[in-house]
A and B are shown apart, each in its own frame.
Chain A
């Protein structure tokens, strides 16, 4: 199920909300777990079963630490979640890479034919981080299976993050079980839900339809302007798709008195590629920093480690060489910045932000195009014979301009995550929020699955 579905917004969410606040406090986590399993189970019984096995495995193997050797316990603890991730998400890619024969594939038909479990990369990383934190004695193994299951299944962050650490949620979940009267910030929650929904449909998905306009034509028929506009739409689509999910997830968390971190901190305002990764999908960046980069030695072998970490970032986003190339591209940008930081940091802020945005934007097509097509795309752009637009029109650029004003001109602390003491007359208005929710509900048929849904 998705946040942008009528079944979720009109049926499951209100039912869960009412049940959550009506039941005795000891049962609140049960309500969340049941709702989360319904939310997830719609994808199919096989993927639900795999998810439950991964959770139970993470829970049970945490008790190995201290009883078996640390290395062995780590291997055992992460083996099943990692195996599921490899088999469901990467196995096809591996077989493609080694050019496996059809007969070989037939042996593994079961894994190919099951739909890729939604959010598998997210929940795998969460379960693995729990095991590693227990191994590092940062946290104690959780004895309460219900609480651990709530952590892994909590539907607001289940499908597309943020990637939570158990230490961040444990106390909040305990509070839900033991606080007689909760004080949810429903106003903020509904505001975030409405705004997230509208941006998903009218910014991310609309941009997707404009991209399709160019994508359905042979590359030779596109002019340089068309290609640049397409890249701009890609930048808008990807960012606002992730952003909208993140905003809705935070809103949903607040409905149930659970505080989720901001996962996208205005990344397009970054001055340099390194800062971009401190603002883009923050919980993923920190996960890789803590569990991969630092463990490999961090700055001791900076270039090697950055290349490895970003190749993993690419692979995490998708099983394909285009995703690996996208990761390596970002590694090169970060290393480039590392080398030229003194000069880069002296650039006036607007120029630094524009440069970073442009460099990042040229990487986005790799999310959608194979390496070969990306090469053709860039090749055609460089040698563009025509700069007369054949696809896009004035209203496309006016639309992009409006989105640009929101993205670069407004600060989220003033209109989205503003304090209750500094209310924004537009975004904090209940009438505006109701209108946005209404328009969002009516337009859901225009909406598409979140891009991160199958990550």
Chain B
């Protein structure tokens, strides 16, 4: 053991006690944070035109709103599982605006394929898989430099992957217990030691009722003039905690009845940036060998659908970019698709240059989703 002189000992004692108290406080605060998973929010009960405001929710809470819904209520005919990339994919793409009984968008944070597999396994256990078609979105490789495809972002609550272990075909990794323990601890750490979790638990910002509103009928307390002079982020935070529900800016990211995200108003729209991700080599998230992992994950997801008699179609939406087909991540992804010729996939990476098809550099627009829906119909996936 090291020798520690008296001054160091006193210093360490104070440091350790203070840090331990603060960390205990963070853990205690995170425990009082409402889950937004139980009782589940019922999207089916929303009226057309209503939105579910997600401001002031942690990432985990926001995802839990949909996760709770997926667990508590049967899925409609078509269910879309993916991440924020497909946020604007609504039932209107099929000509059935906000028809949650036909199509629901279960997109959640930044889920990657392994997390979507676990999500689906959990839903399958509850017999809540979509009746006709499972759409699984894969993050286009050039959107996030290969990120959010097979890497895990600690997005799902740990009980989801614990509950699905016995059904999981992919529990074949070396040292599964070590890997699983590492993942559990890492998941827990990222949830507890998070400024968002602490802040949100200090300032609860409203339950289901306060969060459901119809923008057309919003006549709540108007926000004070000084609010509009503050930086945008501060406006939204203060607006949420101040209860100013009728601030349109607070509705950014709000969910519609079919689980899709409300398209931003023109004045809130960010400029459309081509090649939003510069694909820096130093930040590349796919490497050689990942093509096999991607292909295996796709097959495992496809198998979940097959076991329950539901067709699975994978979607790769486009990114607004120049011709970057030769990027390393794109080529690794090409190889992955070549390794899984047996699964159904709609790969639209080539539709990269028409700005009308995008809401942001990596988010396709409702116009694109109408084209996608048409292709699904044409290829017989909707029959």
Contacts and interface: CB of A to CB of B under 8 A. Distances in A.
Interface string B186-209: 100110011110100000000000
B8 A187 contact: yes
Contact of A443 (B5, B195, B276): B195
Interface stretch (B19-27, B93-101, B247-255): B19-27
Interface string B1-22: 1111101100110111011001
B273 interface: yes
Contact of A431 (B3, B18, B271, B276): B18
A450 to B, nearest CB: 10
B375 interface: no
B348 interface: no
- Residue among B11, B270, B289 having the largest count of chain A Cβ atoms under 10 Å: B11
Contacts, number: 109
Interface stretch (B42-50, B213-221, B277-285, B314-322): B277-285
A44 interface: yes
B287 interface: yes
Interface string A57-93: 0000000000000000000000000000000000010
A183 B9 CA distance: 12
Interface stretch (A3-11, A131-139, A298-306): A3-11
Main secondary structure of the interface of B (DSSP, over half): helix
Nearest to A6: B189
A454 B281 contact: yes
Contacts of A442: 26, 193-195, 198
A437 B2 contact: no
Contacts of B176: none
Interface string A109-121: 1101111100000
B283 A113 contact: no
Contacts of A446: 195
A393 interface: yes
Given A182-B2, A217-B271, A430-B14, A44 B231 contact: no
Given A186-B4, A187-B11, A431-B18, A114 B195 contact: no
A433 B15 contact: yes
Interface residues of B, number: 42
B7 A187 contact: yes
Interface string A184-224: 11110010000000000000000000000000111000000
B132 to A, nearest CB: 38
A449 B287 contact: no
Contact of B12 (A115, A187, A435): A187
B287 A112 contact: no
Interface stretch (B256-264, B293-301, B326-334): B326-334
Given A113-B287, A181-B3, A445-B195, A395 B11 contact: no
Nearest to A47: B287
A2 to B, nearest CB: 12
Interface string B100-124: 0000000000000000000000000
A307 B334 CA distance: 43
B283 A449 contact: yes
B287 A46 contact: yes
B338 interface: no
Contacts of A408: none
A370 B18 CA distance: 47
Given A187-B11, A430-B12, A434-B19, A181 B2 contact: yes
Contact of A44 (B2, B282, B287): B287
Contact of B331 (A6, A113, A395, A443): A113
A345 B369 CA distance: 66
B228 interface: no
A102 interface: yes
A79 B26 CA distance: 52
A291 interface: no
Given A6-B189, A442-B194, A183 B3 contact: yes
Contacts of B271: 216-218
Nearest to B21: A434
A98 interface: no
B288 interface: yes
A190 B15 contact: yes
A444 interface: yes
B193 A441 contact: yes
A115 B287 contact: yes
A115 B284 contact: yes
Contacts of A397: none
A395 B2 contact: no
Nearest to B287: A115
Contacts of A116: 281-282, 284
A303 to B, nearest CB: 33
B3 A113 contact: no
A22 interface: yes
B141 to A, nearest CB: 12
B329 to A, nearest CB: 9
Contacts of A184: 2, 4
B371 interface: no
B231 A393 contact: yes
Nearest to A437: B19
A113 B189 contact: no
B227 interface: no
A438 interface: yes
Nearest to B189: A6
A217 B22 CA distance: 40
Given A187-B7, A430-B15, A6 B287 contact: no
Contacts of B231: 393, 395
B185 interface: yes
User: For B8, B19, B186, which residue has the most chain A Cβ atoms within 10 angstroms?
Assistant: B19
B193 A434 contact: no
Given A110-B288, A114-B287, A21 B1 contact: yes
Nearest to A216: B273
Interface string B24-54: 0010000000000000000000000000000
23 contacts: A10-B193, A11-B189, A92-B281, A109-B288, A110-B288, A181-B1, A181-B3, A183-B2, A183-B5, A184-B4, A186-B12, A187-B8, A190-B12, A216-B271, A217-B271, A434-B14, A434-B22, A438-B23, A442-B198, A443-B195, A445-B190, A445-B195, A446-B195
Interface of A: 6-7, 10-11, 21-22, 44, 46, 92, 102, 109-110, 112-116, 181-187, 190, 216-218, 393, 395, 420, 430-431, 433-435, 437-439, 441-446, 449, 453-454
